[in-house]
Each structure stands twice: as structure tokens, then as C-alpha cells.
Amino acid sequence: MKKTAIVIILFIMAAVFTRGASAQGYYSAKDADQFFPDFKSDEDMSVTTAVRTPTRSAVQFGGWIMPTFLTDYRSGSKQLNSAVTNINLWLKANLWQNAYIYLRGRDTLTGVMMQDGYNSVDEIDNLIDLDLGYISSSFLDGMLRLQFGRKYFTAGAGLVLNGRGDGIQFDISSRWVKFSVYGMYSGLIQKENNLYQISSKDYSDGSKRIFTGGELAFPFENQEAYILAVGQFDMSEETAGARNKYNSQYCGVGLRGIIADAVSYYGEFVYETGTTFDIDNKKHDIRAMAASFSMDYYINVTTFPTFVVQYNYASGDVSREYYSTSWASWTGTGGGNDTGFIGFGTFSAGYGLRPLPGNLHAVRAGFSISPFSWAKQFYLKRITLLAKYSCYLKDKTEGAISQGEATLDELLVGHGVDVSLRWKILGDLSLFVNYGVFLPGDAYASSENDRHFVMEGISLSF
């Protein structure tokens, strides 16, 4: 059960990390399909009626409590009901002009309430962790910025890299060009909270990976063109009798922006190189790719409807069964280049299936409305309803997806429908409900059951 509970925790935390790292001014992949509402940044969560004094200006603090309930259900076969409560406490203190230190701790309590069809035992886990802890300083009226410590590191739209690490980042921002360079290490994060695990060594000892990279962007007319580069190096010791290291490098190009204040979009293409090993310990070169695109069309009328179309692609390999492990299943004379894409960022493509990137095309369309935007009552105005339809297709029909699913030699993986309710009841109280269903396609056996996922919770900030 422990492994199942940890997987659920990590899945939820990935969504939380997405929310925390999304303040870039443009819509991006890591903003899509957030489980949680788009709350204000932490420093704005303090009680609004508090009297502001010089002391409060120098030191700010607050937090939020988020109890959440989850149901993962497969028709007629499996069901898992869980509860997760996150308590987050943060503090921001000014050090000198244009410099501050930010600390945030998190306590995560997880319990399994009911299970059917899982080989596990009911249990309760509690995990306390330093979520963030870094110093930020800016110079020349904000044109230069230096940050170091435990923080979020993101590459482009977030598909390659989007998560916490311990390291340093330097940014230059001007009217004509934006540039960032960073380096971070994942080995100091608790292994239960470590999102960079793709080998048995990662799971047993915690992921010990170094990420270095940078991004160069050119703003123009509310648009931004950029190039990115990321290197990922596995620093773990090799397992006896097996070479399980996965070293990868990524380069990409992208375009993001806003058109006529009504359409926001992003598009990104990434090419992956590097080295990996098969189950016979033979070395293989990585030659993979991925792409993502999203466009939102906002209409400024009553109910504020917004329409969205999305496309996500990650190349596959017929010899790779799992896209969550560092090795592929080549044997003897099989093999060649590993064309299965594996990233270390955020890939959100539906609640019911929740696929990993790799051997997949995901085409999505949906909309959102605020049905009571016309109401005089403030608590009714901030209700939002969202819905999306997804169609999943294979890149290589002979291969599998995610963790060995959809193994039949067929193109159609299946269909998904997601609906969500987000309600900011008060300034410091929010409610959210998410439901997703996945209907298996031809690539699954006829005996495969429909999948349902439900998640509901509240957030109380202080």
C-alpha cells in the first residue's frame, strides 16, 4: 500500500508544484489541467484586515490548509478511496533593498479509507518537508535577478523540466531580450517527494540528478519566441550487474503570447538526445522528440466563456514497454536508437487516463464559463465550470504507452472527458471538484474497464 499511497501523493504534489511555478505572464503547458484553483501567490494570502506596520512590511507570513478526497475507480474491478491533507506554512522576510528570503514548509497527511482489488493494507502516512527555501536578489531596477536555494526550476512550457530542486538561477530581463541560466540538484529532496525517479536506484535511494540549462527569449508585440537547452545527468551509483543510468539532453524552440487581448497561446517543440541501456546492459543512443500546443479564446461577454484547444505529442519506441523507467526492453539483436521520449516536467492530459509522455498523441478541446458572473452576490460570481474532451492516439501502434498499457497493435488508445467545478467562496476559502472518465479504445483488450477519477477538496488560507 505504501507505494500506492506515495504515487497518489506525488501525483497531487505535481499539480501543486504546477500552480506554484506558473507566474510567467503567458499561458503554458504547466498551467493546463491544474487540479487546484488558481489561488493568489503565497505572499498575498495573509489576512486582508491586518494593520500594515513597518514590521509587517519587513516580515510576512501565512499559509493554507487543503484537505482533499480522491476516488480512483475501474468499473467492476478496482476502487481506491484516499484522503490527503496538505498544511503549508510560509514566511517571507526582506533582507535588504530588492532582496528577500522565502521559506515554505509542508506537512502531508495521507490515509486510505477504502480499497478493493489492490494488494495493499490500509495505512496512514505523514510527511514533513521543506517545500521551498531560497534567497532572491535583484539589481539594476529588476533587470538582473539572482536566486539560490530550494526553488522551482522550469524549462520553457514545463514539459522537459518543471519542479523543485536545490540550486542557483540567474536571469536577465530587458525590453529586447530575456535570458536565464540555472543549475540544480535533486538528491537533497526526500525520496517520497522526489518527482525525478525513473530507475530502481532512484526509488530505493532517491533521485540524484543534476540539471543544467538555460533559456533565451526575444519579446515582440506581446509575443515571445524562445530557445531552450537542458542537460540531465544521473549521478547515482550503478546497480550491481546492471547499468541503469539515463542521461539526457534537450533542446527546443517555442513561441508564446497574446493576440488582441482575446487569444493566448503557446507552442513548443523539443528534441531529446542522450544515452540509456537495455536489459542486457547494452548502451543505446536516445533520439526522441515531443511537442505541445495550446490556444485559449476568451470572449468578454456575460458568463465569460473561454474555449481551448490543445495538442500534446511525445515520440515512442516499439521496444520500450515503460515510459517511467530508465531502460528499454531490447534483447539480443533488437534495439537501435531509443526513440521513446522521457521528460522531467509536467504532462497533463486528462484525469481518467493520466498518461505519461511517450508514444502518444493527445488531442483535446474544451471550454469554461462563469455561470453566475452577472450575480450581485460576490460569492456567486466566482464559480467556474470547465469541461474537456480528449482523444488519445499512439505514435507507434506496435508499442505500449505509460507503464505497459494499450499493448495491442492499434492506433486508438481511447477517449476521455473531464469536468471541473472551481468556486472561490470567500477571499480565503475555495472549493474544487474534478471528475474524469477514460473509455479504452482498440489498443486495449475488450475486457478493459472504464476508468473514473474523482477529486474534491477545499483550501483555507490564513
Say how far apart CA 373 and CA 370 lie, in whole Å.
5
DSSP class of residue 52 equals: P
What letter would DSSP give residue 302?
A: T
Residues 6+ apart with CB under 8 A from 220: none
Instruction: State the Cα–Cα distance between residues 72 and 79, nearest whole angstrom.
Output: 6
pLDDT confidence of residue 230 = 97
Q: Which phi and psi angles does 298 have, rounded to 5°?
A: -100, 130
Tens digit of pLDDT per residue, the chain (462 long)?
A: 444 444 443 344 333 333 333 333 333 344 444 443 333 333 333 333 334 444 445 889 999 999 999 888 887 677 888 899 999 999 999 998 899 999 999 999 988 877 776 665 557 888 899 999 999 999 998 899 999 999 999 999 999 999 999 999 999 999 899 999 999 999 898 888 888 888 777 777 788 999 999 999 999 988 999 999 999 998 887 665 556 788 999 999 999 999 988 999 999 999 999 998 877 778 889 999 999 999 999 998 888 999 999 999 999 998 888 888 877 665 544 568 899 999 999 888 899 999 999 999 999 999 999 999 888 888 888 899 999 999 999 999 999 999 889 999 999 999 999 999 999 998 889 999 999 999 999 999 998 999 999 999 999 998
Compute the distance between CA of residue 321 and CA of residue 407 in angstroms, rounded to an integer: 9
Check residue 28 and give its pLDDT.
38
- State the cell numbers at 429: 476559502
Torsions phi, psi for 278 (to 5 deg): -95, -175
**Residue 404, C-alpha cell as written in the block:** 505497459
Which grid cell sits at 174?
Answer: 530587458
Contact 393, 360 (CB under 8 A): yes
Query: Quick one: pLDDT at residue 409?
Result: 92
* Element (DSSP H or E) covering residue 144: strand 144-155
> What are the residues whose beta carbons fall under 8 Å from the beta carbon of 232, sequence distance 6 or more?
161, 209, 210, 211, 246, 247, 248, 249, 250, 274, 344
H or E element in which residue 316 lies: none
The CA-based dihedral angle spanning residues 312, 318, 322, 324, taken in that order and rounded to the nearest 10 degrees: -50
The Cα–Cα gap between 420 and 348 comes to 15
Residue 177, helix vs strand vs coil? coil
Distance (Å, rounded) from C-alpha 414 to C-alpha 443? 8
Which three three-digit cell numbers place residue 394? 499512439
Contact 179, 214 (CB under 8 A): yes
Q: Dig out the grid coordinates for 306 from the structure.
A: 473561454
Contact 358, 437 (CB under 8 A): no
Q: What is the pLDDT of residue 330?
A: 59
The two beta strands, 327-328 and 263-278, are: parallel
The H or E element that residue 244 is part of is none
